[in-house]
């Protein structure tokens, strides 16, 4: 007789669906009469005598399970001696793949491939789920491709170029030549490509999920179409991010404009630049091009730049930017855009009741970002959006379709990459395990990478009062911080908001060099309910910007100007 009946232990099977996946994998690898049993953790099957069993084990491993040592149950006529066990164990995969639900094998289908999507996929794979990710564009999302990484790389370069020429130290001079923006952009692109590979592409193989390239749209409440092909899963996560929002200014489209994406792709520094919108993106990119040599005008429709920060921060930053030669135009109503002389673009705005005109080489639109929900077929899936187009979710990130979750910039959440990652992981856990975890965004820091940097966490003074707190506030000018004096950069401040009854910290707001690093300490203080007295009672390393937190806390009760260095 030329047949053998074999038994293969299989780890990772948990249900009838798992049985079917293993049976199909073995049959596709050449086995016959296959029977898998997740309760016993085994598969029994028939092969021709002499058949190599390693490919059978590889087939099982390929669908996400771990094969063990194959045992020969019968060989030839009944009663014939069985051969010794054949060890076909493969190296353990770096992450197990366990099919837990849908007959087509997917526990979670993720639309998008940015920070929220990858955090969700990693969390799901760690839980043993089978995951498919659908991406219609470039893998990695906004942060690594067109947002945080490329912008901060160029911001650092521009700051170094500016500081070389504008330092405040006596005893030496430095000279630089013109900027070769093409080389800076090429260097930035190399960094982006490397990080996309290391932090995104390579992880797919490490954790073991499937990626489909194509455009996903809901066909109905339980089905996706990906470029015409049908895809179904037990649960779905929408993590499609957001894109630049462009206001309907007459003549803007015809004149042409830059967004936060295309502004990072220029290969020559424009001699002049108008920035419409003076929140984080507009401030960062406006100062970037000022540092590289452009004449920059900042327009903001609200009464001050950095309009969502504390008033003291917006006012002080405006002074610093004006000192660098930038024109700051708050309370500006852009009326129209048109063509000017010598290929310039003309901006007409009403400021202080008067109509004024500016001519510039380029216009950057930085008026916010809009969630990427168009063409997803949300209405066919019963998924509601708000007036901005953001997907409406509950505290667990579940949408109005009970099988669909959403995370990151596509929801109304703060548009930060670390918030997206947090939400992606939380949504995956809730969708797979019914964990019912609630989103907690009470201590989310934010940073604007201008020079000086803006960083904040918690409530502003106005928000604290609106929420019913009786508040007390301290404002410490940066010239009271020794590190700022050493740096000879004193544009800035520390502002702390506390509850007057409990002394508990409610918010911290910083305008200073390295504010983005300092704010983490304030984030911990806010998260764990520390008081002003707790901040005063901590050691603060001398001649660091972080000392400003302690000094600002001391300012509630003392005049730090008449304290010796490091005095309590």
List, by residue number, the catalytic residues.
13, 15, 18, 65, 143, 148, 565-566
Cβ count within 10 A of residue 97: 23
Here the tokens at position 321 are 């930017």
Q: At 267, which helix (H) or strand (E)?
A: none
Beta carbons of 112 and 143 less than 8 angstroms apart: no
User: What pairing do the DSSP bridges indicate for beta strands 272-276 and 362-365?
Assistant: parallel
| Distance separating alpha carbons of residues 66 and 530, to the nearest angstrom | 48
335 Cβ neighbours under 8 A, 6+ residues apart: 249, 250, 348, 349, 350, 355
CA-CA-CA-CA torsion sign (42, 48, 50, 55): negative
Beta carbons of 157 and 184 less than 8 angstroms apart: yes
Beta carbons of 78 and 105 less than 8 angstroms apart: no
Here the tokens at position 109 are 């289908």
Helices 280-292 and 311-323: crossing angle in degrees, nearest 10, is 20
| Distance separating alpha carbons of residues 210 and 257, to the nearest angstrom | 38
Classify each residue of 495-507 as buried b or exposed e, where b means 16 or more C-beta atoms within 10 Å of its C-beta. Answer: bbbbbeeebbbbb
| Distance separating alpha carbons of residues 426 and 222, to the nearest angstrom | 21
């Amino acid at each position: 007789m030329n047949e053998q009946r074999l038994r293969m232990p299989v780890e990772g099977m948990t249900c009838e669906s798992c049985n079917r996946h293993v049976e199909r994998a073995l049959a596709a690898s050449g086995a016959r009469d296959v029977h898998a049993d997740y309760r016993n953790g085994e598969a029994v099957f028939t092969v021709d005598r002499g058949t190599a069993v390693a490919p059978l084990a590889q087939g099982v491993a390929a669908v996400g399970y771990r094969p063990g040592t194959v045992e020969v149950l019968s060989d030839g006529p009944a009663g014939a001696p069985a051969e010794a066990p054949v060890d076909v164990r493969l190296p353990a995969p770096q992450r197990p793949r366990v099919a837990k639900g849908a007959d087509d094998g997917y526990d979670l289908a993720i639309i998008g491939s940015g920070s929220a999507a990858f955090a969700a996929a990693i969390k799901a794979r760690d839980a043993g789920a089978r995951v498919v990710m659908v991406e219609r564009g470039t893998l990695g999302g906004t942060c690594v491709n067109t947002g945080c990484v490329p912008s901060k790389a160029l911001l650092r370069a521009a700051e170094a170029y500016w500081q070389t020429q504008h330092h405040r130290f006596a005893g030496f001079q430095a000279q630089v030549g013109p900027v070769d923006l093409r080389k800076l952009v090429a260097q930035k692109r190399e960094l982006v490509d490397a990080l996309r590979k290391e932090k995104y592409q390579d992880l797919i193989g490490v954790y073991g999920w499937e990626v489909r390239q194509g455009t996903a749209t809901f066909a109905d409440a339980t089905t996706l179409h990906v470029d015409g092909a049908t895809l179904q899963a037990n649960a779905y996560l929408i993590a499609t991010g957001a894109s630049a929002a462009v206001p309907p200014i007459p003549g803007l489209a015809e004149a042409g404009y830059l967004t936060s994406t295309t502004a990072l792709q220029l290969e020559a520094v424009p001699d002049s630049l108008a920035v419409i919108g003076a929140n984080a993106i507009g401030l960062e990119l406006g100062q970037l091009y000022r540092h590289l040599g452009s004449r920059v005008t900042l327009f903001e429709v609200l009464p001050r730049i950095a309009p969502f920060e504390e008033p003291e921060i917006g006012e002080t930053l405006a002074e610093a930017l004006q000192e660098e030669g930038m024109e700051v135009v708050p309370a500006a109503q852009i009326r129209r855009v048109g063509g000017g002389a010598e290929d310039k673009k003309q901006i007409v705005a009403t400021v202080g009741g008067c109509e004024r005109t500016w001519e510039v080489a380029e216009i950057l639109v930085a008026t916010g970002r809009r969630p990427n929900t168009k063409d997803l077929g949300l209405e066919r899936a019963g998924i509601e959006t708000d007036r901005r187009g953001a997907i409406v979710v509950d505290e667990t990130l579940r949408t109005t379709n009970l099988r669909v979750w959403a995370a990151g910039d596509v929801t109304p959440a703060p548009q930060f990459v670390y918030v997206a990652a947090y939400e992606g992981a939380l949504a995956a856990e809730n969708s797979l395990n019914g964990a019912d975890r609630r989103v907690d965004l009470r201590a989310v820091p934010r940073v604007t990478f201008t020079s000086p940097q803006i960083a904040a966490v918690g409530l502003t003074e106005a928000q604290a009062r609106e929420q019913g707190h009786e508040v007390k506030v301290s404002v410490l000018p940066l010239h009271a911080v020794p590190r700022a004096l050493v740096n000879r950069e004193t544009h800035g401040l520390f502002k702390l908001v506390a509850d007057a009854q409990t002394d508990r910290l409610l918010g911290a707001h910083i305008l200073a060099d390295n504010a983005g690093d300092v704010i983490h300490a304030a984030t911990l203080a806010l998260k764990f309910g520390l008081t002003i007295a707790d901040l005063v009672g901590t050691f603060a390393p001398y001649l660091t910007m972080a000392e400003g937190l302690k000094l600002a806390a001391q300012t509630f009760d003392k005049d730090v100007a008449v304290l010796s260095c490091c005095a309590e």
